[in-house]
Amino acid sequence: MTCIYTSSEKVTPLNYLCDKNDLDEGKSRGFEVDGVQLLAVRRVGQVYVYQNRCPHRAVPLQWQLDQFLDASASLIQCATHGALFLIESGECIAGPCEGKSLNPIDCGEDAQGIWVNLPERD
């Protein structure tokens, strides 16, 4: 298992998300890792991962399997009420949760694939 080190010298295991070739440029995909629903988007070569939960109603965002983006593929869109989120920050810029944000998930990419660091659960 690949690990990262935090400032307190604790070892935090990384969770494998997918092969880096399984997330194409300008596309989104949904995942479940250790019971946590996630969405991942690749934009301009960078991978962004968020918890798949709208901050307005705590519902999943996709309208179909792996469909999290608006028609222009430039924003994440909630299928329930149409809220729009910036891919780079998760901030809602239109809709009933405007000003709130999606929960970001730390992620990284290497030759083996895309990895996520899930937050500790209570």
Give the residue extent of every domain in the chain.
17-117
CATH class held by domain 17-117: mainly beta
Contact assessment for residue 66 and residue 73, using Cβ atoms and an 8 Å cutoff: no
As a whole number, the mean pLDDT across the chain is 88
Contact assessment for residue 68 and residue 41, using Cβ atoms and an 8 Å cutoff: yes
User: Where does the pLDDT of residue 1 fall: very low under 50, low under 70, confident under 90, or very high at 90 and above?
Assistant: very low
User: Where does the pLDDT of residue 120 fall: very low under 50, low under 70, confident under 90, or very high at 90 and above?
Assistant: confident
pLDDT one-digit tens code per residue, 45-76: 999 999 999 999 889 999 899 999 999 999 99
The structure's pTM equals 0.87
